[in-house]
Structure 1
Amino acid sequence: MSNVPNYTEQGGAKTVIGGEIDIASGGKFSLAGVDKAAILAKLTGLTVAALDGTTGKKACLTNGLSVITGGTGIADMSLAAPSPGEVAIIRIDTLTSGSVVVTGGTNVKLSGLNIKATFDAVGEALVLVYKATNTWEVALNIGGVVLAAS
């Protein structure tokens, strides 16, 4: 812990941003060496869906923010295959007990060989970006969302 908003922990393996990141003109935002600026630009006009697991409210957006009211848990939320440039953000807004499970659609991978994401707490979120046909890649995992292959 530090008394400044932005710092790198001893050893340099973790940097904490409590302030702001300002990428100057001509700068790049990269994850694993891949520029993500074009993907982030698509967030302008972001679509937001309020989902609660009831009929018609189980499919997470493939390009937008899905805010889930989890109640006592939802076992059958889904996320379809991505298209190039899409960004899916899934966030748990409320959860009384249990877990919210989001499963990739037919042959859809959420990251690597993982097809399932389990959210156990309010505020947990995943930011997923298009990687390839039928494949998402996790750009950000907030709160320890658990990914599994089955």
Structure 2
Amino acid sequence: MTTMSLLTRSTSAEERLDEAIVCANVPSPLSSVAFHQDVECIRRFFAAGFPVHLAVHRVDSAEAAGRDYTALHTHEGPEINLILPDPTGLEYRLELGSRVHHVTESTSIWIPPGVPHSANVVRGSGYLIAVRFDHGGAT
């Protein structure tokens, strides 16, 4: 069953309860994902076995790295990114197609299928959470 059919089908609460998934977020390097490189300030956790691609990136005391660690790439399905700063602040530089956004507040980002994108931390601490609704890799 596809992820979208799981999200949209009509079933009883009892039937949905049988499909509930509790999944540990396991450490997984950024470099395990195409178009990404490891950086010291980010610890990545992946929900292996989850019905959608779910990755939690913990950012600690990032300073300008002087390089991007995520290259522009696309996906076959849509993606949601959530940026959640710690009280000390977090800044990300997002590229969405030819547009560049500097995000410094708690922000939700919708990335439609096929849109070239990248997210690179500039400074600070907090979380970037990525949820992707396809089963394919980055292209």
Is TM (by shorter chain) over 0.5?
A: no
The TM-score normalised by the length of structure 2 is 0.35
The TM-score normalised by the length of structure 1 is 0.33
- Name the one with the larger helix percent: 2
Q: RCO higher in 1 or 2 (8 Å CA, sep ≥ 6)?
A: 2
